[in-house]
Amino acid sequence: MARDTTTLSRRDVLKTSGAAGAAGLTGLAGCAGIGGGGGDSEYPALGNYPVEGDEVVFGLNVPQSGSYSQEGEDELRGYDLAVDHLNNGGGWVDNWDGLSGEGVLDKTVTTVEGDTATDPDTARQSASRMISRDNAIMVTGGSSSGVAIAVQGLCQEENVIFQCCITHSNDTTGSECVRYSFREMFNAYMTGQALAPVLAEEYGEDLNFYQLYADYSWGQTQQASMEQFFTDVGGWNQIESVPTPLGTSDYSSYLSDVPRDETDVLVLNHYGLDAANSLPQAIEAGLDEDMEIVVPLYNRLMAEAASGSIGGIFGTADWNWQLEDDATQSFVEVYREEYDRAPSYGARIAYTQTLQYAAAVERAETFYPPEVIREMEGVEYDGAGLGAETMRACDHQAQRDVLVMQGATPEEQTEDKLLNIVSQTSRDDMGYACDAGPAAECELGEYGDE
């Protein structure tokens, strides 16, 4: 905490100027905003508050092109379902406290869409359009941690709440965290905590592991977390950890460098299309005969693309439709009715993050962002398919269970079922304190009403 005495860090500059900017913004909005805010204007104008008229706009900023576009489609399905339920009832809306099924604070929810192109700056410009032209009161979406980090920074400046969707990097709620952003998804650190004990038990102790990782924000924190927990928990020994450029299609040179006789476990820290390329290539090269392969973060795209190769391979997932609790079952049911398929975890996060925001607004009885943020901070909830969860106040990271998955063999695979749930690691057995792990680097910044 007392480390920043000598140099002026970027964050310090951001903090002071953020205050100045916020003051300027309120002053400005003062002349534009007041008048016609309904019974909702007990707070000064801030960001896109107050909401005028009978409608409130949510901005859905998802990848519709680029390497994660398939996940973007799934996210959109989740969002559309959430908005439909918020306006007309159904799904979790009927079970969550506060939500009425008649819009949010009696305003009908409408949406605007944008394409992040899986590119941080495109995502920012798209979010910027939603905020300044379409008056979005909340922006959500993203797949790729680079995008989430870029957009949440913008949202902090603009005093508009951002609900992260798929982002697994430690930095999102760690060194790059902001007050206006919340994350339901788990992170690489928690993947390490959940995966390491299972692997230690399955494969034994004192093994040598070798890592390949996608060379960007997520991959870097991912491989660091794997190293930390495999070393700590199983007493494993890392031979080497090799970066591969994001979007690589041919991994054969990296794979041929893996020392077959020394390596016991090969960790492929790749996601989406990258993993869909690297995993089958590793199998094709026969590496699975000499060692175990681990893919720390599964997703459906990768599981589908590599379906012939994933049999028996361990990894983690945010959530899975095969869980048997009531919330999961009811979500899967309404989703199937609408789209005729099982939801991926991207759809669940999208759905959950939207309802979380709406519920917080209902509890706060206003759209005024600082009050909504305070309502979300530290909230306990259990209707999101993963049992009891906490949206922690100190870093806005959900403390929740994590699923350890194992790929199904080609014979037992069906269209929806590619993975089997091995265990649901309880949040009590993992997580980290506010002054430890990624949270130690997090300074959330201003509410905007100080």
Partner 1 sequence: MSREDRVAGDEPVTDGGTVADESTGTGSGGSALARLRDREDFVVIASAAALVVFPFLLIDVLGAIGDVIGTSIGGYAGLPSLVLIYGIIVIGFNLLLGYTGLLSFGHAAFFGSAAYSAALFSQVVPSPILMIVAGTVVATLLAWPIGFVSIRRSGVYFAVLTLTFGQALYFWALGPGSWLTNGDNGFSGIEAHGLFVGALPLDAQLIPVFDSYTVMYAFASIVMLIAIWVGNRIINSPYGLIFEALGENEERVEFVGLNVFRYKLMAFVISAVFAGVGGAMFTIHEQYIHPTTALYWIQSGDFVIMTVLGGTGSLVGPVFGALVFEYVANVVSGVSLPVIGSIGSLWRFVLGAVFVFIVWVFPRGIYGAFADLGARITGGGGDGEEPAAADGGEAE
Give the binding site for partner 1 (CB under 8 A).
Answer: 8, 10-11, 13-14, 17-18, 20-21, 24-25, 28, 31-32, 64-66, 69, 112-115, 117, 119-122, 124-126, 128-130, 132-134, 146, 149-150, 153-154, 157, 171, 175-176, 215-217, 220, 243, 245
Positive or negative, the CA dihedral 284, 289, 295, 300 is positive
- Shortest CB 26 distance to partner 1, Å: 12
Q: At closest approach, how far in Å is the CB of 140 from partner 1? A: 15
CB of 89 or CB of 245, closer to partner 1? 245
State which residue, 76 or 364, has the beta carbon closest to partner 1.
76
Q: What is the CA radius of gyration of the chain?
A: 22
CA 252 – CA 26 distance, rounded (Å): 56
Residue 265, token pair as written in the block: 């476990």
Among 142, 201, 176, smallest CA distance to 422 is for: 201
Q: Is 179 helix (H, G, I), strand (E, B) or coil?
A: coil
Q: Which is nearer to partner 1, 87 or 420 (CB)?
A: 87
User: How far is Cα 209 from Cα 105, in angstroms, rounded to an integer?
Assistant: 53
Question: What's the CA gap between 160 and 165, in Å, rounded?
Answer: 16
Tell me the C-alpha distance between 155 and 141, whole Å: 12
Q: Which helix H or strand E contains 118, and what residues bound it?
A: none
Nearer to partner 1 by Cβ, of 220 and 309: the residue is 220
Q: How far is the CB of 125 from partner 1 (least distance, A)?
A: 5
Tell me whether residue 208 is exposed, middle or buried, using C-beta atoms within 10 angstroms of its C-beta: 0 to 12, 13 to 18, 19 or more: middle
Cβ closest to partner 1, residue 161 vs residue 408? 161
Distance separating alpha carbons of residues 187 and 168, to the nearest angstrom: 4
Closest contact distance (angstroms) between CB of 420 and partner 1 is 33
Which of 3/10 has CB closer to partner 1? 10
Q: Kindly state the tokens that stand for 175.
A: 């060194």
- From the CB of 3, what's the least distance to partner 1, in Å? 17
Closest CB to partner 1 among residues 158, 401: 158
* Dist. CA 431–CA 235, nearest whole Å: 20
